[in-house]
Structure 1
Amino acid sequence: MASPDQTLKEFFPKYNPPIRAHKHTCVGLGMEVIKRLKTLEKDYPGITKSMMLVSCDENIQDVLDYTTSSPGPQGFLIETEKDHVMVAIHVRIGGRQGVFLSDLGYHISRVVTVMADRCYPHTGWFTQSDEPHCRKEYNYQFNVKNSNYVEWHERETRGCVVKERLSLIYIARAYLTAVNVTEKRNLVWDLRSLLARDPKGRLSAGIYFPLKLKDQQFTMFFDSTNGKQRKKLKFDTFLERQKIPDEVVGEVEQCNEQLRLRDGELLSILKHLATIMADEEYMTELLEVNDRIVQLSAGN
């Protein structure tokens, strides 16, 4: 937005995204957990060299085709988004192949153990979140055709409706382009969120919203004396600070505290977001860049 001499479409390919402290996407969180786990080196010699970032392709349509076309994802590099990363540590237990996976980007509050033979201590299916309106269950297992991949199965239950999703994690080699590919791709993702969770991974407070040109609003949720609150608010409400209703300011301040932000930080973030969302030319360009990435990954 600060580069009037070039469009976002021209600027985006040349941009090198920084990894900012305390403002982490899955890439930054993966790097942070590796840094912290290095303190275990004294008790577990070799763990530092064993840890690595690994890439994940979400929403795989044809698992057999993807995993058997080549040993790794080389043949799919043009047609994949590489939109997620996590930390992997290869292990052997009594000669049995396995891998530990740590995925803070999806707020998984445990280290998942994936054994090739699916026997103990294989984690198997577990409940990731169980809210009144939605339950999510995850399962990780080695692909039977290609052990370079771990399948990540997600089962989402809303009332009587069950949806399933499959992603593939490539664990054979470290993912070396996480910043230039995944971090950069997620900058123009059309769904944004700022969330807080408890130590068990349960959502406690936050905001989330889709990027749209019309009907621009976000959902804010937080705990109050009257129980869990969930509010839908329009971004244009926050364009002028003095016109924001006092009741809304109070709710934002409650959410701000539960997000563990500095005083007034969430209100400032929302004002900045409202200004950006109101810039129709910029938003149009951003959504076009995202759509183009989606088209390329689909081979169109």
Structure 2
Amino acid sequence: MAAPDETLAEFFPKYNPPIRAHKHTCVGLGMETMKRLRVLENDFPGITKSMMLVSCDENIQDLVDYATAFPGPQGFLIETEKDHVMLCIHVKISGRPGVFLSDLGYHVSRVVTVMADRCYPHTGWFTQSDEPHSRKDYNYQFNLQNNNYVEWHERDTRGASVKERLSLIYVAKPYLTAVSVTEKRNLVWDLRSLLARNPKGHLTAGIYFPVKEKDQQFTMFFNGTNGKQRKKLKFESFLELQKIPDELVDDVEQCNEQLRMRDGELLSILKKLATIMSDEEYMKELLDINSTIVKLSAGE
């Protein structure tokens, strides 16, 4: 607990975030997956020791410079965010090295096989999501200059526009500071979401919003009686529950049900979020911490 007169900037460095059941970020999902896969030990001896969390640096600008400057990421520790993790298992198939990757944090609904020689059963390109407004395709492959890294390519197609993103996953050693670095970093991330997906990883309902000091809005989407609904709402509308229009309450309840939450839970969360977002001093502190982390990661 923070002291009554303690600022967020003073509290944040010493806070050790808990991993809460059923409230998982990528860190918690990776740890939970490792725990559940231990039941396979009898059928696949050694799998427990082979599983590990691995770190991922997103939005790599210079692939060759990053992958070849050092064998591992130690030379970049100050200048990277380490903002994502996933589960990795090293394998050999007829003597050929590769890895299995499970990334539930990005809702990848399959275990991806990455072979060093890029031959069968190498997964290659696959469609991660195909929505009316956007199709995302992923590809994972070992970096040719440094096989300690797996490249993660993302291609986002929106009509005639195609955006590409590159991330690097360090698979040579387990990532030991997932909670103290990645989980903690994500506490002040400036994009928040609460989502439900089907077994294929497709979005079905939820809310998401950028964290901003002004014009604070969130998007809520769900399947309504008239098909898919997507509404942009102001947080201030939820500051006083008794003043929320009945129609809006009905929409929140539908979304709540599709998120598989307890009755009234989503409405309660939105009320708490509205109160937090209206605290200008707190919001400024949070965004300042996030900005500082981004600047450090860029070497500024």
Which range, TM-score by smaller chain? over 0.9
Matches within 5 A, 1:127-138: 127-138=127-138
Q: Is the 8 A contact 2:88 2:100 kept in 1?
A: yes
The secondary structure found in structure 2 opposite 1:77 is: helix
Partner of 1:189: 189
Following the alignment from structure 2 to structure 1, what is the Cα–Cα distance between the partners of residues 79 and 7?
Answer: 25
Question: How far did residue 225 of structure 1 move?
Answer: 1.8
Code of the aligned partner of 2:65 = D
The corresponding residue for 1:280 is 280
Offset at residue 88 of structure 1 (A): 0.1
Q: Is the 8 A contact 2:128 2:136 kept in 1?
A: yes
- State the partner residue of 1:240: 240
1:224 Cα deviation after fit? 1.3
1:35 aligns with: 35
Superposed CA offset, 1:136-167 (max 9, x none): 00000000000000000000011111000000
* Identical counterparts, % of pairs: 82
Q: Secondary structure at the match of 1:127?
A: strand
Match runs of 1:183-262 below 5 Å = 183-262=183-262
3-state SS of the aligned residue for 1:192? Answer: strand
State whether structure 2 residue 66 is matched by structure 1 residue 66. yes
2:135, 2:3 → 1: CA distance? 44
Shift of 1:6: 1.5
Opposite residue 99 of structure 1, the aligned amino acid is V
1:234-261 Cα deviation digits (max 9, x unpaired): 0000000000010000000000000000
In the alignment, what sits opposite 1:95? 95
1:118 aligned partner? 118
Following the alignment from structure 1 to structure 2, what is the Cα–Cα distance between the partners of residues 3 and 267? 29
**Maintained 8 Å contact 2:83/2:186:** yes
Counterpart amino acid of residue 196 in structure 1: A
Find the aligned partners of 2:112 and 2:43 in 1 and give their Cα distance.
Answer: 21
1:45-64: CA deviation from partner (whole Å, max 9, x where unpaired):
10000000000000000110
Q: 1:11 matched to which residue of 2? A: 11
- Letter in structure 2 aligned against 1:136: K
Please give the alpha-carbon distance, in whole angstroms, between the structure 2 residues aligned to 1:4 and 1:284.
18
Distance 2:2 2:57 in 1: 32
The secondary structure found in structure 2 opposite 1:104 is: coil
State whether structure 2 residue 157 is matched by structure 1 residue 148: no
Counterpart of 2:267 in structure 1 is 267
Match of 1:85 in 2: 85
Q: Output the TM-score relative to the length of structure 2.
A: 0.99
Equivalent position amino acid for 1:221 in 2: F
* 2:221–2:231 Cα contact (<8 Å) kept: yes
For 2:298, give the aligned amino acid: A
Which digits, 9 at most, give the CA deviation of each residue in 1:178-235, with x for residues without a partner? 0000000000000000000000000000000000011100000000121110000000
Check the 8 A contact 2:2/2:11 in 1, yes or no.
no
Amino acid at match of 1:175: Y
| 3-state SS of 1:286 partner | helix
In the alignment, structure 1 segments of 5+ residues that lack a partner are none
- Residue 3 of structure 1 deviates from its aligned partner by 3.7
Helix, strand or coil for the counterpart of 1:208?
Answer: strand
For residue 228 of structure 2, what is the amino acid of its counterpart? K
CA RMSD of aligned residues (A): 0.8
Q: CA deviation at 1:107?
A: 0.4
AA aligned to 1:9 is: A
Unaligned runs of 5+ in 2: none
The structural deviation recorded for 1:4 is 3.2
Partner residue in 1 for 2:52: 52
- On the 8 A contact 2:150/2:169 being kept in 1, the answer is yes
Secondary structure at the counterpart of residue 144 of structure 1 = coil
Structure 1 moving runs of 4+ over 4 Å: none
- Helix, strand or coil: the match of 2:196? strand
Corresponding residue of 1:161: 161
- Name which of structure 1's ranges 1-10 and 171-180 shifts more when overlaid on structure 2: 1-10
Tell me how far apart the structure 2 counterparts of residues 2 and 55 of structure 1 sit (CA, whole Å): 29
Letter of the aligned partner of 1:5 in structure 2?
A: D
